[in-house]
Amino acid sequence: MNDHVYDIGTATTAEVLPLRMSVLRRGTPSRDPRYAEDDDDRTIHLVARRADGVIVATSSWLPRPFPPEPDSAGVQLRGMAVDESLQSRGVGASLLAAGIEWARDVGATNVWARARDTALSFYERNGMTTVGGAFTDDATGMSHHLVVLRLG
């Protein structure tokens, strides 16, 4: 674990697109790493940077209800990606924790994501629960599940 060498902070959409592209679009039919939510004023991008400023992990957070509970004060996590050479060292867990803290600060009662099945163990290990059945994501063609964390 060497996540302590990375600074966690905010970034612009333009800054996070290259890492999204290289990690999340690899091996998929989509060449477009943008989300409609990127243009929403309420979206924040939380990233981990090396000491030289290079972004090594990215995540995007937007107030939006958890789909099975349309009246809930949810925050959706999108575009979670860690530079391939730095995966499995706790950087993702640190970024997730920072986003959950932000969600608490904005008064959310849950944090949720559309998780690709290959990453479900990451979310579950960090306290999230898988809800409902599998679905295929249009952009990636990959099997996904909803995951949610209740904020007390």
Ligand X SMILES: CC(C)(COP(=O)(O)OP(=O)(O)OC[C@H]1O[C@@H](n2cnc3c(N)ncnc32)[C@H](O)[C@@H]1OP(=O)(O)O)[C@@H](O)C(=O)NCCC(=O)NCCS
Which parts of this chain interact with ligand X (CB under 6 A)? 23-24, 80-82, 87-93, 115-116, 118-119, 121-122
The pairing of strands 74-82 and 110-116 is: parallel
User: Least Å distance between CB 121 and ligand X?
Assistant: 4
User: Least Å distance between CB 82 and ligand X?
Assistant: 4
| Residue closer to ligand X, measured from CB, 51 or 71 | 51
- Dihedral angle, C-alpha 15, 33, 133, 99, nearest 10 °: 10
User: Least Å distance between CB 53 and ligand X?
Assistant: 19
Whose CB is nearest to ligand X?
A: 92
**Residue 122 to residues 72, 92, 98, 109, 113, Cα–Cα distance (Å):** 24, 9, 15, 21, 12
User: Least Å distance between CB 130 and ligand X?
Assistant: 12
Gap between the terminal Cα atoms of the chain: 28
User: Least Å distance between CB 104 and ligand X?
Assistant: 20
List 45's β-bridge partners, or say none.
Answer: 11, 60
| Residue closer to ligand X, measured from CB, 41 or 87 | 87
List 114's β-bridge partners, or say none.
Answer: 146
Which residues lie closer than 8 Å to 92 by C-beta, 6 or more apart? Answer: 57, 80, 82, 122
